[in-house]
Amino acid sequence: MVIAAIAEPFSLFQTWFAEAEVHEPNDPNAMALATATRQGAPSVRMVLLKGADTRGFVFYTNFDSRKGQELLTNPAAALCFHWKSLRRQIRVEGPVQSVTPEEADTYFFSRPRGSQVGAWASQQSRPLTNRAELEERVAEIEHRYPHDVPRPPYWSGFRLTPLVIEFWQDMPSRLHDRLIYKRDRENAPWKTLRLQP
């Protein structure tokens, strides 16, 4: 089915995402996140979308991790959602900025206790001598915070503000349908065009 073009991409994203939540068997909110160093060396990994609205796409991480450091020094990124069950993908590109402390607190305190403890215990992306070292750190944090676990100062989120959103739908004979939305800056009007497969 050819993608119906509408004036802005956010409602189309929400429609596709809702369908993925029904049909995709595992982690419909999983997305590939591509970042780069200041010198332009790229890296990519899977993360989970934790919020999406007209302001952008939100995910959370340890700011001391590789992706956190890359985003802090080179605040631009790309995302790719791929829903194999629906034979669809969405690519997103744009600048990133940190979410507010209030947003980070709200999400952190909604997480299971084990994930909160893990945010303190894991020195993400740093070398680990052995698994026992990590497990000892988990026990130490659980002892330190027997009740409420505060949000670590280095743990927060980023919001990617999209300047490009491309919708891709599988079609017969590899003649896929590609609809792209582009704008020059946040709150600027979107321009829409179709791309050849």
Cα Rg of the chain (Å, integer): 19
User: Is there a catalytic annotation at residue 174?
Assistant: yes
pLDDT-based confidence at residue 1 (cuts at 50, 70, 90): confident
The answer, yes or no, to whether residue 18 has pLDDT greater than 90, is: yes
0.85 cut: is pTM over it?
A: yes
Model pLDDT, residue 196: 93
Q: Give me the catalytic one of 174, 178, 183, 194.
A: 174
pLDDT-based confidence at residue 51 (cuts at 50, 70, 90): very high
Q: What CATH architecture applies to the domain 10-108+156-195?
A: Roll (2.30)
More confident residue, 123 or 51: 51
How far, in Å, are 57, 92, 196 from residue 9 at the CA level? 13, 11, 19
The answer, yes or no, to whether residue 96 has pLDDT greater than 90, is: yes
- Amino acid identity of residue 91, one-letter, is R
Helix 113-121 vs helix 101-110: crossing angle, to nearest 10: 120
